[in-house]
Amino acid sequence: MKPRILVTGGTGYIGSHTTVELQQAGYPVVIIDNLSNSNRDVLDGIERITGQRPDFVEGDCTDIETLRKLFADYTDIRGIINFAASKAVGESVEKPILYYRNNLNTLLNLLDLMGPNGVKGIVFSSSCTVYGEPDVNPVTEQSPIKKATSPYGNTKQISEEIITDVINSGAPFKSVILRYFNPVGAHPSAEIGELPNGVPQNLIPYLTQTAMGIRKELSVFGDDYDTPDGSCIRDYIDVVDLAKAHVLAVERMLGDRSEAPVEIFNLGTGNGLSVLELIDVFEKATGVKVPHRIAGRRTGDIEKVWADPTCANTVLGWKADTPIADTMRSAWAWQKRLRERGIM
């Protein structure tokens, strides 16, 4: 029997897809989530895909007593994957206290409780935002960390530093920090996907809702950047590919294969696509038009960033190989499924 993994924020977008991959790899999972940006129907989707319902605790990771009880109830947790965080760049500029409280207190509580409860490793969801506006693309793990352009990005930088400091102080566990580029798409079964509460803060759910007619038009923030078509460039990575990297990270830590107590990997495809190019890929892949207009630049947005995933490819043994057109089709299939269910 493989050891139990605690997935915080496990009913969220990346958390739910990672739970599926963990269960399919034979790991029992317990999820804790406060359902602030997700709902419990996700558990049904996970169960339909894997034939197994993960254990679920509704609770807030910023409350240490809730976590103490969880560890008392599940004494077999040996690994943690921490997705519990607020994650919208724009919102973080408006609500910095919320972001610092949620993202940092959650991490501190988990790190505090890992040692006493025999947890051997934590996988942390970081972000390419730590590279800020890079001097050179693609970015490697050695690229300089820049001053964060948003409170969200800053919470990721601070979290990486906290993990490193705690482990360097002699803590009895390891960490793998995964710097995501831009996760998109949905599970090919269309049983789970990205379903934010309220108006989407991320590009693809807003795009698919616009294509469905739920939103009037998609705003493209800025067409005057120093890029071929003037719109921002990102490295869009399929969410299932991304989820699989977490399973490899867990296996690496718990199998004592880490080369250092803290390891960092960039998770991207190595290809940069502009927002306008992505809209074009979606339209061609699905045959559905996306009404969009050019709006002003958005505070905190980075002009262009894409990954050099060589380290993840060679050391972690992971590669993002889903073509972007397939990813766009999966996002659209998920949006259609939501419509069938009368949700969107």
Q: Is 2 exposed, middle or buried (0-12, 13-18, 19+ CB in 10 A)?
A: middle
Pair of tokens at residue 294: 């050019």
What is d(CA 336, CA 39) in angstroms, rounded to the nearest whole number? 18
29 with 1: CB under 8 angstroms? no
Number of C-beta neighbours around residue 65 at 10 A: 9
In the structure encoding, which two tokens stand for residue 281, read together? Answer: 């890929």
Is 206 assigned a catalytic role? Answer: no
Q: How many CB atoms lie within 10 A of CB 138?
A: 20
CA max distance for the chain? 55
Whole-Å CA distances, 120 to 126, 235, 250 = 19, 31, 10
User: Is residue 320 within 8 Å of residue 180, measured between CB atoms?
Assistant: no
Residues sharing a CB contact under 8 Å with residue 87, sequence separation 6 or more, in sequence order = 37, 152, 201
The bridge status of strand 121-127 relative to strand 174-180 is parallel
Nearest to 308 by CA among 137, 145, 178: 137
Helix (H, G, I), strand (E, B) or coil at 28: coil
Catalytic residue among 13, 99, 131, 152: 152
- State which H helix or E strand residue 106 sits in: helix 96-114
Catalytic (active-site) positions: 152
